[in-house]
DNA sequence: ACAAAACAGTTACACACGCAACTATCAACT
DNA sequence: AGTTGATAGTTGCGTGTGTAACTGTTTTGT
C-alpha cells in the first residue's frame, strides 16, 4: 500500500494530460487563423452560444477566473467583435453580445470546432468517444453541482 | 449545419473543464499541505515513480515546457528534496533523484494522491470511472504516439 | 577529422495570471 | 430610511509562463 505511485493509474494526472494534448492542438488552429487566445476563444464560444449574457455567467460556465474573463471581454471589444450594455434591471451587470462582425468570426470558429471534433471522433473511434463522453458526464455531474 | 455550437457537446471544452475541476481540487490539497506548485507536484510525481531520471524525460511525460520543468527542478532542489548529478555518459544531461528528505515527502504525497483517487472513484461510481479510463486511454493512444 | 546540426538545460524579456483591494450597485434586515 | 453585507466588474501588483537566445555537449555527415 506504500511505495511509488504509478501515474498512468492516477486519474487526475491522465485527465490533465489528455486535456492539454487535445486543447493545445485545437488552440493552435484558432490562434493561427484568428490570433485569439484561449480565454478569448472560450468567451467567444459561450457568448456565441447564449447570444446575450454577462461576464459572470461566462466565468461560471467556463471555470475561468473573473479577471481572466474581464480581460478577454476587453480584448474582444477592442477588436470590435463584442459590445457591452449596462443591464437596466441590475446596473452592476453588463449584457454582452457579439457585434455583426463578431458573429461572422464566431460562425467561422464554429466551423473550425466542428471539423476538429469530427476529426477527433474519427481518431478516437466511436466507442471510445462514447465512453469518454460518459466518463466526463459523471465528473461534471459531481463537480458542477457544488457551486 | 451552421448556427451556434453547443459547448456541452464539444468534447475539448468538456475535457478541459473536467480536468480543471478535478486538478484544481487536488492541487488545493497538496498546496495546503506542502506549499508546492503544480509543476513541482508533477515533477515530484514523475521523479518519484521513476526513481532517477532527467528533466527532459519529465517534460516528455508531463507535457510541461522545458523551462517550466527547469524551474520546478530548481525549486525542489532549493528545498533540499532533489539532487542533481551530471550524467557520465552524456554530460549535457543531469540525472535527478530525490533526497532522503524528498523521498519522505514524496511518500506522503503518494498517500494524499491515493486517498484523493479513492474519493474520486467513489464520487464518480465504478462504472463511470471505468468509462472515463477507457476514453482517456484512447486519447493517450492517439496523441502520445505522435511525438 | 571537422564543420554543421541536434540536443540538454538555463536565463532575459515580455506577457499572462491570480489575489487582493477597489468602485459601484443591489439586497437584506432592523 | 439607513446600515450592513453581498455581488458585478476592473485594476495594481507580485508571480508564473512561453519565446527566443544562449552555453555547453554530443551526433551526423562528409
pLDDT tier for residue B1 given thresholds of 50, 70 and 90:
low
Rounded-to-integer distance, Cα A113 and Cα A23, Å: 11
Check: CB of residue A45 under 8 Å from CB of residue A82: no
pLDDT in the model for residue B20: 95
DSSP secondary structure code for residue A5 in this structure: -
Each residue's pLDDT tens digit, A55-80: 999 999 999 999 999 999 999 999 99
The domains found in chain B, sorted by start residue, are 36-139 (1.10.10.10)
Name the nucleotide with the smallest C1'–CA separation from A72.
Answer: C16
Q: Kindly state whether B32 is in contact with chain A, defined as any CB-CB distance less than 8 angstroms.
A: no
Are B61 and A7 within 8 A, CB to CB?
Answer: yes
Query: Taking the C-alpha atoms of A104, A110, A111 and A112 in order, what is their torsion angle to the nearest 10 degrees?
Result: 110
A137 three-state secondary structure: helix
pLDDT over 60 at A147, yes or no: no
B64 three-state secondary structure: coil
Are A7 and B131 within 8 A, CB to CB?
Answer: no
Q: CA of B58, closest CA in chain A: separation in Å? A: 12
Count the helices and strands in chain A (H runs, E runs): 6, 2
Q: Kindly state whether A52 is in contact with chain B, defined as any CB-CB distance less than 8 angstroms.
A: no
pLDDT in the model for residue A144: 82
Rounded-to-integer distance, Cα B112 and Cα B40, Å: 15
pLDDT over 90 at B30, yes or no: yes
Residue A126 makes CB contacts below 8 A (sequence gap 6+) with none
Are B138 and A129 within 8 A, CB to CB?
Answer: yes
pLDDT in the model for residue A75: 97
In chain A, what residues touch B59 (CB-CB under 8 Å)? Answer: none
pLDDT over 60 at B2, yes or no: yes
- Strand C footprint nucleotides (protein C-beta < 7 Å): 7-12, 16-20, 24-27
Each residue's pLDDT tens digit, B54-111: 999 999 999 999 999 999 999 999 999 999 999 999 999 999 999 999 999 999 999 9
Alpha helices in A65-125 (DSSP H): 66-78, 100-124
Amino acid at each position: 500500500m506504500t511505495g511509488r505511485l504509478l501515474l498512468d493509474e492516477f486519474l487526475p494526472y491522465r485527465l490533465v494530460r489528455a486535456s492539454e494534448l487535445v486543447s493545445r492542438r485545437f488552440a493552435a488552429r484558432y490562434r493561427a487563423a484568428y490570433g485569439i487566445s484561449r480565454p478569448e476563444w472560450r468567451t467567444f464560444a459561450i457568448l456565441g452560444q447564449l447570444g446575450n449574457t454577462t461576464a459572470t455567467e461566462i466565468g461560471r460556465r467556463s471555470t475561468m477566473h473573473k479577471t481572466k474573463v474581464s480581460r478577454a471581454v476587453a480584448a474582444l471589444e477592442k477588436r470590435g467583435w463584442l459590445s457591452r450594455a449596462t443591464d437596466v434591471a441590475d446596473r452592476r451587470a453588463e449584457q454582452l453580445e457579439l457585434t455583426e462582425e463578431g458573429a461572422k468570426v464566431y460562425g467561422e470558429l464554429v466551423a473550425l470546432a466542428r471539423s476538429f471534433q469530427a476529426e477527433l471522433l474519427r481518431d478516437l473511434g466511436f466507442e471510445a468517444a462514447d465512453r469518454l463522453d460518459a466518463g466526463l458526464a459523471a465528473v461534471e455531474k459531481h463537480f458542477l453541482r457544488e457551486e
